Structure 1
Amino acid sequence: MLIDTHAHLLPYDYPADAPECFPRMEPVDGETARTLLFGQMQFKARDVFFDAERRLEAQDASGVDVEVLTPMPPLLRYDLPLADGLSLARHVNEFSATLCQTEPTRLIALGMVPMQDPDAATAELTAIQEMGLAGVEIASNILGASIGHEKFLPFFAECERLGLAVFVHAMPSPTERLPMSAMGTYVVGVEGAFAAASMVTGGTAAKCPDLRISFSHAAGGYPLMIPRHQYFWGGSWNEEPKNPERAVMPDDGPSPLEHARRFYYDSLVFDRRALTYLIDLLGADRLLVGSDFPAMPREDPAGRTLASMGLPDDVLRQITWDNAWRWLGMQPTR
């Protein structure tokens, strides 16, 4: 059994009277695909992005039992005026909920909110829950601001209160220091690390201990930096007992590793050696299967690298099935 927790959707279309800043989905002659036009972006979207029947066929072909669907990240346009951003989010959320009603035991969706206005985003969470969406997707930064900034704390506190899962997808910052050509490679690692680290260093992780939050691509470079933070916090190497005399940034709260082990991380890191490190450092109970499908092709079959690692059956089941339900806060489907 396998759940793909990092898969994307796109609405089939947008209202004819939508603002000019809205996306458009234009037909492709002779094909079932549609072209997404959004600002300077042009993206040919195969019908699997918006057709439930095609999604289920793709699941069956790759050995996926359940997908957690989130909006394609370019839809997270926090530069839009609030009214337009809220309207876009509601349209995408309604489409997502409708798509999943086709087969709710195999299609589970998260919504989106206008994070450019934290108060409006927080107020929208109740509607997301009432629509039957399991949580919310946000970008790794909000117009350059770290998600761990105190102004977003009420948003995360409300997600925690409502029991909504949060998925953080790495996205470039307006002050990007790498070219856009690096978006699919190094920007993912840098932005994921900033996002996860900010949740710890900004205090949100401590103030929202029951928040169920997952980071795309295993939060990029963050796991490699946790031991350094652990040393500054406790003055010791290799997770040995705390040495206050050496600690540079001591405090009496949970260690950086304890915070990191409350987060979830998808396993889309492309190498079994990286997966081995993640399991060893963070624990098998923190990892989820992710693919970025259909923006990227899945392994064939899904989870092939994990299955090739010789993991005990109970560990493999945790990563491919059990952990996802705990992150979602849902009972497993049959």
Structure 2
Amino acid sequence: MLDFHTHFIPPEVIVWLQEHQKIINAKWSQKDDTKEPFLTINEKWGFELKKGFIDGEYYLTEQEKAGVSHSLISPIPQLFLYDFPEEITTEMAAIYNHTLADWTNKTPQKLSALGTVPLINPDKAAQVLNQAMNLGLKGVIIGPGLSDHMLSDDIFIPFFEEANRLHAIVFIHPLLCEDPRLKRRMMPNLIGVPWETTVCATDILLSGMIDLYPNVKILFAHGGGFLPYQIGRLDKGYEQWGLVSSKLKAKPSEYLNRFWYDTVLWSPDSIDFLIKTVGEDRVVPGSDYPFDLSMWPPKEFNTKGASSIFV
């Protein structure tokens, strides 16, 4: 069994965070004696530093116990550091990418990895993507855009051109939604996270950029958010409005199988619907290990999507 959605923080990254804690406003706090310390960056997105995040041997042991034969590791979204100057984000990316590459290159039968890039400067992000893949990484994980830019905006052309040239995996992972209506009952995580993916995925689809960059292997987290479920509404809009259809060569539903989707949905019926809607060769198994809402242990699942995205 494969696991395409896991996260890890190498020891060298932890050391960097400690050395730069004032610059990035990193804080460690103990919320509960029964839990590990929580790490918060710049007053956002605090998370528990579980052993699975930071102990490589423990990570591998847990994957093996769960029956996972190969894991694709990603940096954690909290450390994309898009809120900080380019120099800080680039430095973090370099350390993260080199250390993940070193680890996975030593155990290629068990591990692959994605890197992170300074998305705030798409030209630099393209360079860092190239460097990451030269190190042996399979591509990168990025957020759903920046505070003032969607991924379909022209500023990201250099990044997607390079990703297209390299046939890179681009795993689009949401950050916690900051909609003020969601600041209760854990809704930023429960529905804000898939909503961020929905907005990003819909914008990418309707922008026509997948026709411009057919070699980019775009993977959406958490089953693509709500996009597969509402694709009929997009098709209806395609028939009704020129603003929806003007940049597309076919109706939106015909683009769904141009992307990949993980199975972090926690519902067999939802996974079955996703497979039926986008095709089993576009769905990859994932767990989101070791975050609180991970599907752990992951469910046994076909690897046709894994085979197609790794080609």
Residue 39 of structure 1: aligned partner: 42
Question: Could you tell me how far apart the structure 1 residues matched to 2:172 and 2:233 are?
Answer: 23
SS of the residue aligned with 2:182? coil
Q: Percent identity?
A: 26
Q: Aligned runs of 1:47-196 on 2, under 5 Å?
A: 47-173=51-177, 177-179=181-183, 181-196=186-201
Question: Aligned partners of 2:245 and 2:53: how far apart in 1?
Answer: 48
Give the TM-score of the pair, scaled to structure 1.
0.81
SS of residue in 2 equivalent to 1:218 = helix
**How far did 1:62 drift?**
0.9
Tell me the alpha carbon deviations over residues 279-304 of structure 1, each in whole angstroms, 9 at most, x when there is no partner. Answer: 1211111111111101136546421x
Check the 8 A contact 1:71/1:137 in 2, yes or no: yes
| Conserved 8 A contact 1:265-1:287 | yes
Q: CA RMSD in A?
A: 2.8
After TM superposition, give the deviation of residue 93 of structure 1 in Å.
Answer: 1.2
Paired letter, 2:22: E
Which protein is bigger by CA-based radius of gyration? Answer: 1
Deviation at 1:98, TM superposition (A): 2.2
TM-score (norm 2): 0.87
1:23, 1:36 within 8 Å by CA — same for their partners in 2?
Answer: no
Corresponding residue number in structure 2 for 1:324:
306
Structure 1: gaps spanning 5 or more residues: 236-245, 308-315, 330-334
Deviating 4+ runs (over 6 angstroms): 25-28
What is the identity, as a one-letter code, of the residue corresponding to 1:36? L
Q: Comparing 94-103 with 160-169, which one deviates more in the overlay? A: 94-103
Which position in structure 2 is the counterpart of 1:238?
A: none
CA–CA separation in structure 2 for the residues paired with 1:164 and 1:176: 35
Instruction: Give, in whole Å, the separation in 2 of the partners of 1:233 and 1:297.
Output: 35
The one-letter amino acid paired with 2:258 is R
Q: Could you tell me how far apart the structure 2 residues matched to 1:176 and 1:204 are?
A: 30
Q: Could you say if the C-alpha distance between residues 167 and 176 of structure 1 is closer, same or farther in structure 2, counting changes exceeding 3 Å?
A: farther
Q: Which stretch has the larger CA shift, 19-28 or 97-106?
A: 19-28
* Shift in CA distance, 142/276, structure 1 to aligned 2, threshold 3 Å: same
CA distance in 2, matches of 1:8, 1:249: 36
More helix by share: 2
Judged with a 3 Å threshold, the aligned counterparts in structure 2 of structure 1 residues 95 and 25 are, in CA distance, closer, same or farther, namely farther
CA spacing shift, 1:95–1:26, aligned 2, 3 Å: farther
Matched residues in 1 for 2:27 and 2:51: separation?
A: 11
